[in-house]
Amino acid sequence: MKLVIVESPTKAKTIGRFLGNDYVIRASMGHVMDLPKSKLGVDVEHDFKPEFEISADKKKTITELKKLAKDADGIILATDPDREGEAISAHIEELLGKGKKFVRATFHEITQDAIENALKNPGVVNKQLVDAQTARRVLDRLVGYKLSPLLWQKVRRGLSAGRVQSVALRLIVEREREIQKFNKKEYWTITISLSQNLSVVASEAKQSKITNEIAAAPAAPRNDASTDFELIEINGEKIEMSETFKLYDGEYKVSLTNINSKEAADKIDADLKTKIFTVSDISQKETKRSPQMPYTTSTLQQDASRRFGLSGKRTMSLAQKLYEEGFITYHRTDSVNMATKAVFQIRDFVKKSFGEKYIPEKPRFYKTKQKLAQEAHEAIRPTNVSVSNEKVDQNLGPQYAKLYDMIWRRAVASQMSDAITQSTTVLVEAKSDQPNTYLLKTTGSVLLFDGFLKVNPFGLGDRKLPQFESGEKLNLIQITPIQHETPPPPRYNDASIVSSLEEEGIGRPSTYATIISVIEARLYIERLQGRFIPTSVGMAVNDFLVKNFSDIDDIPFTANMEDELDAIANDGRPWVPMIRDFYTPFEKKLAIVKKADRVEIPTEEIGENCPKDGAPLVIRVGRFGKFISCKNFPNCDYKRAYIEETNFICPKDGGKIIVRKTKKGRTFYGCSNYPKCDFAVWKLSDLKRGAEGEKTTKKRKSTSKK
DNA sequence: CAGTGAGCGAGCTTCCGCTTGACTT
């Protein structure tokens, strides 16, 4: 008997189906050893020796593995083929060790071929890769467990800092400041509605029929409905312009026009009324649109957030179940690669369902753009393309089916043909014998071939233009000047923060969702309609870290770290000097900052005075969220709850429903007349149903359990 | 289901990354 050890139990089950009876497959359930939770666990005096110990929740797993190892003829370490996976193998080897025969087997996809291949070509644990993981772990521990206590001392108890979470917080704080200092600019666009002159062109219409037949896309028939044109040039000069702003995280571009006041717009409006409008140019262009790459963890979370408003946490929990039930491949991945077998299955499926035209000549193979990607797994795809979302609905329910459907469409579309669109641009000149000539433009587009849009129809929508003739005169129907303001850069949400973190190589697929949960749990940020706003505590912590540790609390720090880890893994550089080079200046800085003053958390006045001593009342952020207190604290201890109202009323006594938090920090909604009225619900949607239907609520629950 | 900020000074808070259940509704 041979013992095979992988990380995930679902993976173990799948592999069991491929291998014969002489193999026993077990899962490690992730890391089995870690640094102790309650102390630093790194001996900085003695070459940073880490005190790895068996994780509390893995003692049982290890006991069982040890038992199996005793009877095994050989042990195959088949953990994930990346830095962390290599360390898990090393830890298991160390724990089960002594006289056992270990080999290391790696594969990047769970297919029969890949696994047989891996077993035929066994290797040994890569010590250099393990060293790189040790360095990563020790560095993160030193940063986290040295900075956090400093925050307890200088700001408030229970706070935290770390290489990843502090940069995520910084992104959000910097963005808030960029929004605050953003200068809005007024600008105007001018839309001109023009119509065709039916009686005049009636005879020409016949002639145009010839061109009409040649053109692949038929134009809408001529009619007297008007078409909207945009003003684009005045006397040969373009009115559109753009401004670029440097942000902490990249660049921000806004487009606007050089018409910057109502007076200027009105003047153009009046002048345009005196002009004659003539079609001056018609051009057509075919554009190809290619499908998107199949999902990774990051893009899956982004799309689920954008399309269904799901949090990263929720998406991952739905995906976990889909994975466990065998509907999709592994859901924590940074790879866009699909197993060759799956690619051909999808091509077959598309050919059968939609015809030959819908698959490109050659299969599409995608490459990830992230240079820090470790690509230990496949992209996220359905394990069997012929499984419909109805089947998922029957087995797991509509929420799961919705996510599965999204994954299915993206994966299938990724192997389909390009969509082909024909766009038509019509230019109109507006002039007279008086000064000033204007150029107007309109664009229409027609889908010639839907291609991949057949299964993933996003951003679809034709805009058919009537058939125009060059030189044709048009009638002015209406001129509409519209006022705009340049919008400030948007606040981050679940989708955009994950996108930024991934782009900068900060965090990993298994942590994107938890990074956000952590800074939310510390009350560093709060959500406003799904977007992140830093709290006063978040601002204070961020400013403290940036002021004193900007070399760590910055995007390039992780990129540099990754370069150094690569040198350890690939060139065999020793890890201890790398950590020492980091720690020596860090320790000096820590000692200096320890002597500095406490940080004051800014408060916000609410425009009301304290009933006790008349001083202004302020909003503070405590351990459980916002509350109102006297500015003179601790000399005056007046305090009361910060009440966030909703639009709902209590079905029991008609009081207002307000937002509250449990001791554990969960949000719920209760009656403002508490404790006189004890009405409370977890979700506002429960409230709508509440009055008429306890029965319907119960029914739904029992069916969804099936 | 409904707490909060400091200090008094017990004992404790905290990192990132790899995996699931065990919890709650």
Instruction: Assess whether A149 (CB) lies less than 7 A from strand B.
Output: yes
Which nucleotide has the shortest C1'-to-CA distance from A682?
B25
pLDDT at A693 over 60: no
Does one domain contain both A263 and A191? Answer: yes
Measured CA to CA in angstroms, residue A120 lies from A101, A105, A123 at distances of 16, 9, 10
Whether residue A649 is contained in a domain is answered as: yes
Q: How far is CA A312 from the centre of its chain?
A: 8
φ and ψ at A353, to 5 degrees?
Answer: -80, -40
Residues A461 and A529 in one domain: no
| Burial label, A310 (beta-carbon count in 10 A; 0-12, 13-18, 19+) | buried
Q: What is the DSSP string of A460-501?
A: ---BPPBPP-TT-EEEEEEEEEEEEEPPPPPPPBHHHHHHHH
What pLDDT sits at residue A650? 86
Boundary of a domain, candidates A392, A417, A442? A417
A612 and A705 fall within a common domain: no
The C1' atom of B11 and the CA atom of A230 lie apart, in whole Å, by 70
For A133-159, what is each residue's pLDDT tens digit? 999 999 999 999 999 999 999 999 899
Any idea what DSSP says for residue A383? S
Asked whether residue A545 is assigned to any structural domain, the reply reads yes
- Of A555, A570, A593, the residue at which a domain comes to its end is A593
What's residue A663's pLDDT? 67
A695, pLDDT greater than 80: no
Q: Which has more pLDDT, A36 or A213?
A: A36
Higher pLDDT, A665 or A235: A235
CA distance A422 to A215: 10
C-alpha of A313 from chain center: 11
Catalytic residue check, A323: no
A118 & A14 share domain:
yes
Are residue A398 and residue A462 in the same domain, yes or no? Answer: no
Asked if residue A130 belongs to a domain, the reply is no
Q: Is the CB of A630 under 7 A from strand B?
A: yes
Q: Is residue A598 part of a domain?
A: no
Which tens digit of pLDDT belongs to each residue from A451-480? 999 999 876 678 889 999 999 999 999 999
Catalytic residue among A187, A295, A323, A330: A330
* Residue A466 near residue A432, CB atoms below 8 Å: no
Whether pLDDT at A701 is above 80 = no
Examine residue A479 and state whether it is found in any structural domain, yes or no. yes
pLDDT of residue A622: 79
One domain, residues A429 and A282: yes
DSSP 8-state secondary structure symbol assigned to residue A658: E
**CATH number of the domain enclosing A507:** 1.10.460.10
User: Which amino acid is present at A607?
Assistant: G
Do A561 and A616 belong together in one domain? no
Identify the pLDDT of residue A211. 40
What pLDDT shows up at residue A219? 53
> For residues A294 and A107, what is the distance between their CA atoms, to the nearest angstrom?
20
In a domain, A131, yes or no: no
pLDDT of residue A76 exceeding 50, the answer is: yes
- Residue A358 pLDDT > 50: yes
Q: Which residue is nearest to nucleotide B13 (CA to C1')?
A: A158
Percent of chain A with pLDDT over 70: 93
Predicted local distance difference test score (pLDDT) of residue A640: 85
Q: How confident is the model at residue A9, as a pLDDT?
A: 97
Residue A145: inside a domain, yes or no? yes
Q: Rounded mean pLDDT of A595-609?
A: 88
Rg (CA), chain A: 32
Q: What is the pLDDT of residues A383-417, one digit of tens each?
A: 999 999 999 999 999 999 999 999 999 999 999 99
Give the domain CATH number at A235: 2.70.20.10
Confirm whether A565 is domain-assigned. yes
Final residue before a domain boundary, out of A485, A502, A527:
A485
Q: Please tell me the predicted confidence (pLDDT) of residue A665.
A: 64
Q: CA A75 to CA A3: how far, in whole Å?
A: 5
Q: Are residues A409 and A512 both part of a single domain?
A: no
Residue A648, class by beta-carbon neighbours within 10 Å (0-12 exposed, 13-18 middle, 19+ buried)?
Answer: middle
Rounded to whole angstroms, the Cα distance separating A129 from A372 reads 15
* Listed range (A35-39, A202-206, A612-616, A683-687) with the worst mean pLDDT: A202-206
> Which residues span the domain enclosing A173?
136-182+493-593
> Whose CA is closest to A537, among A84, A24, A151?
A151
The confidence score (pLDDT) of residue A582 equals 98
Strand pairing report for A473-485 and A186-196: antiparallel
- What would the mean pLDDT of A436-463 be, rounded to a whole number? 91
The span from the CA of A503 to the CA of A555, in Å, is 10
Q: Which residues in range 10-29 of chain A are in contact with strand B, contact meaning CB within 7 A of any of its atoms? A: 10-11, 27, 29
- Tell me how many degrees the CA angle A203-A204-A208 measures, rounded to the nearest 5: 130
- Would you state the structure tokens that stand for residue A262, as one six-digit string? 């109502």
Determine the Cα–Cα distance for residues A241 and A572; give it in Å rounded to an integer. Answer: 52
Give the least confident one: A44-58, A91-105, A392-406, A436-450.
Answer: A91-105
Q: How far apart are CA A167 and CA A172, in angstroms?
A: 9
Domain shared by A7 and A62, yes or no: yes
* Distance, CA of A29 to C1' of B19, in Å: 4
Q: CB neighbours (10 Å) of residue A273?
A: 10
What is the tens place of the pLDDT at every residue in A603-612?
Answer: 888 888 988 8
DSSP H or E stretch at residue A700: helix A694-705
A 327-366 residues, CB < 7 A, strand B: 330, 332
pLDDT at position A702 over 60: no
Q: Which of residues 659-698 of A have CB within 7 Å of strand B?
A: 660-666, 668, 670-671, 674, 678-682
Q: Residue A528: beta bridge partners?
A: A531
Residues A583 and A669 in one domain: no
What does the pLDDT look like over A177-232, one tens digit per residue?
999 999 999 999 999 999 998 765 444 444 343 343 334 445 555 566 899 999 99
Mean model confidence pLDDT for chain A? 90
Q: Is A36 exposed, middle or buried (0-12, 13-18, 19+ CB in 10 A)?
A: middle
> Which bases of chain B come closer than 7 Å to a protein CB?
1-6, 12-21, 25
The residue ranking higher by pLDDT, A688 or A575, is: A575
How crowded is residue A195: how many other Cβ atoms within 10 Å of its Cβ? 17
Q: For A550-574, where are the alpha helices, taking DSSP H only? A: 555-571
Q: Which of A529-533, A630-634, A691-695 has the highest mean pLDDT?
A: A529-533
A248-301 pLDDT, tens digit per residue, is 999 999 999 999 999 999 999 999 999 999 999 999 999 999 999 999 999 999
Together in a domain, A663 and A638: no
pLDDT, position A212: 37
Is the CB atom of residue A228 positioned under 7 angstroms from any atom of strand B?
no
Number of domains chain A contains: 6
pLDDT at A670: 86
Beta carbons within 8 Å of A596's beta carbon, 6+ residues apart:
A154, A548
Residue A633: predicted pLDDT: 86
Check whether residue A141 and residue A26 sit in a common domain.
no
